Amino acid sequence: MFKVKKTEYVNKTFRIDKELLEKLENVAQRENISVNALVVQCCNYALEDMNPDPDKK
């Protein structure tokens, strides 16, 4: 049976370097997505690719 999933979002404020923001805005515009969506994708990618054991390189 089909169930509609609702993603819960929260608002949070982060400070980022102006140069990084400009890069994110350029990529988001080029890919036709919001800066927020791009940041979420980048964070998810980084967290999934992280080494789970910080003692091992």
pLDDT of residue 55: 72
Please write the tens of the pLDDT for every residue from 1-32.
999 889 898 999 999 999 999 999 999 999 99
pLDDT of residue 5: 87
The chain-wide mean pLDDT, for the chain, equals 92
Whether pLDDT at 54 is above 80 = no
Residues 6+ apart with CB under 8 A from 42: 24
Mean pLDDT computed over 22-49: 96
